[in-house]
């Protein structure tokens, strides 16, 4: 272990420091470099606290540190991190075994040390912990994502939820697919929050008796442009929304309706354009290629396999190189996002694959009246993406959306938190066999419940 005196922030290249800052309510850990974070965790030990901060023998310094990091103080408008504003922005990270960590940024911790000393609350600036507690980026599944807590209750509940989730992960460590879905969920939240690149949800419809015959294409796009003369406190980016619905003239007589609903003429977000086969193919390829070369292009699907196959059939340039969302902010290229997998992560069950209509109902997204129109499907696929990506981290978001309905399984014991009315097995749709799955109520499964 290196000496504390040898450690300076400027010498840190990349990685995460672990340390314990014991407040009155909870211990804390992990600090990294300029792009790094410090971890708040309820399962750090007091022993580590004293080892990591053994150089802080001054009881007065310890008291000042505890007071600053108390949950009440962090949320307060008087907190030096955000003077005049109530609430605190922290970060949520995931280590490779699937456990979550609630994090501070190094900028916050550095300013904490500076401010306490400048206010003469500590005799000396608090030291940086040693590299012994360093976690490199390779120890994490991806960059932590920001999350804001506006009340004391939200922050305290977040700490509890992290602890609950980590227990579930240890119990169900074998669900590799769910772990990967959770990782992608947090990566999508991170890149969405950067308001960079172009996000296009796309959907195809084919003739029900010959799926190689493409009859419709729908797209819905979100991108951002930087505003001029932005006032303090305003968002400096303006969201741009564009969408469309194209059909193939040569296949106008080939209608669905026997096995799949025929809603080709019921596009709800503009005017349908009828194109020749060649123009149809060219415009799709040109649009995707244009945005892919300008910067990161996120292609958003709900069940990607069929739509990617159609893109390959149309020989869209570069589609063979489509990639998953990486752990670091991506550059130019195409990246695939599947809202069906994202909702499976949110629901907490890798085996459940919900339809677009069902996901809209469970997320309380209204107005999806004409499914199986490619334009409408693309519009609501992007709405689903926005709803999940702009929310809290996956476990906090699940509990916020469906409070007291998370089914926690430990070994062979099954316990459901909260009280529910007595319903049939079909109505309740109890999702067993996974940690942190949601037990749906009758109200959840009835998309028209709020209309009565």
Closest CA to 360 of 263, 452, 447, 440: 447
Helix (H, G, I), strand (E, B) or coil at 227: coil
User: What CATH superfamily classification does 192-401 receive?
Assistant: Ribonuclease H-like superfamily/Ribonuclease H (3.30.420.10)
Contact predicate 41/28, CB 8 Å? yes
What are φ and ψ of residue 338, in 5° steps?
-115, 110
Q: What is the DSSP string of 348-399?
A: T-TT----HHHHHHHTT-----STT-HHHHHHHHHHHHHHHHTSS-HHHHHH
Sort strands 37-40 and 28-29 into parallel, antiparallel or unpaired: antiparallel
Q: Where in the chain is the domain with CATH 3.30.420.10?
A: 192-401
Q: What is the mean pLDDT of each run of 10 residues along the chain (452 residues)?
A: 32 34 32 40 33 55 84 90 89 77 77 89 76 58 81 86 73 68 90 93 96 96 89 85 97 95 96 97 94 90 92 89 79 90 90 90 95 98 97 88 63 29 29 47 48 36
Predicted local confidence at residue 437, as pLDDT: 61
**Residue 175: predicted pLDDT:** 65
Give the pairing type, strands 237-248 and 210-226: antiparallel
Q: What is the DSSP string of 266-296?
A: --SSS--EEE-HHHHHHHHHHHHHHHHHHSE
Q: d(Cα 36, Cα 69) in Å, to the nearest integer?
A: 18
How confident is the model at residue 171, as a pLDDT?
56
Overall size of the chain counted in residues: 452
Burial 256-267 (b: 16+ CB within 10 A, else e): beeeeeebbebb
What's the Cα-to-Cα distance from 259 to each of 59, 204, 256, rounded to whole Å?
74, 16, 7
pLDDT of amino acid 128:
62
The widest CA-to-CA distance across the chain, in whole angstroms, is 83
CA-wise closest residue to 203 among 330, 65, 380: 380
Is 40 in contact with 96 (CB distance < 8 Å)? no
**Within 44-175, where are the H helices?**
46-52, 59-69, 71-75, 106-118, 152-171
The predicted model scores a pTM of 0.65
């Amino acid at each position: 272990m290196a000496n504390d005196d040898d450690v300076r922030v400027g010498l840190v290249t990349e990685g995460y420091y672990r340390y314990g800052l014991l407040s009155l309510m909870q211990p804390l850990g992990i600090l990294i470099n300029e792009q790094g974070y410090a971890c708040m965790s309820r399962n750090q030990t007091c022993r580590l606290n004293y080892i990591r901060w053994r150089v802080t023998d001054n009881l007065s310094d310890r008291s000042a540190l505890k007071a600053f990091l108390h949950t009440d103080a962090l949320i307060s408008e008087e907190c030096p991190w955000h003077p005049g504003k109530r609430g605190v922005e922290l970060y949520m990270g995931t280590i490779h075994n699937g456990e979550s960590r609630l994090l501070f940024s190094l900028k916050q911790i550095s300013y904490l040390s500076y401010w306490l000393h400048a206010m003469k609350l500590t005799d000396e600036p608090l030291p940086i912990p040693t590299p012994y507690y360093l976690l490199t980026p390779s120890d994490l599944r991806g960059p932590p994502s920001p999350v804001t807590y506006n009340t004391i209750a939200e922050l305290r509940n977040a700490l509890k939820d992290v602890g609950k989730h980590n227990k579930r992960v240890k119990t169900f460590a074998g669900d590799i697919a769910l772990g990967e879905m959770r990782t992608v969920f947090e990566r999508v939240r991170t890149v969405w929050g950067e308001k960079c690149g172009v996000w296009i949800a796309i959907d195809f419809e084919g003739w029900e008796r010959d799926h190689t015959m493409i009859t419709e294409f729908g797209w819905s796009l979100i991108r951002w442009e930087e505003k001029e003369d932005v006032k303090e406190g305003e968002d400096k980016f303006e969201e741009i929304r564009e969408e469309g619905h194209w059909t193939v003239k040569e296949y106008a007589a080939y209608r669905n309706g026997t096995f799949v609903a025929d809603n080709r003429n019921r596009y709800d977000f503009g005017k349908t354009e009828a194109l020749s086969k060649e123009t149809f193919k060219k415009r799709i390829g040109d649009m995707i290629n244009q945005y892919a070369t300008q910067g990161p292009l996120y292609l958003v699907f709900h069940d990607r396999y069929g739509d990617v196959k159609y893109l390959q059939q149309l020989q869209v340039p570069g589609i063979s190189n489509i990639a998953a969302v990486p752990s670091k902010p991506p550059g130019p290229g195409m990246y695939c996002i599947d809202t069906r997998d994202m909702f499976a992560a949110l629901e907490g069950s890798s085996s459940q694959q919900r339809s677009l209509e069902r996901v809209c109902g469970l997320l309380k997204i209204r107005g999806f009246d004409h499914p199986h129109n490619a334009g409408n499907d693309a519009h609501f696929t992007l709405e689903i993406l926005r709803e999940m990506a702009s929310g809290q981290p996956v476990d906090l978001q699940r509990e916020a959306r469906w409070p007291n309905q998370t089914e926690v399984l430990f070994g062979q014991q099954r316990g459901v938190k909260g009280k529910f009315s007595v319903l049939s097995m079909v109505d309740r749709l109890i999702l067993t066999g996974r940690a942190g799955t949601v037990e749906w109520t009758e109200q959840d499964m009835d998309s028209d419940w709020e209309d009565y």
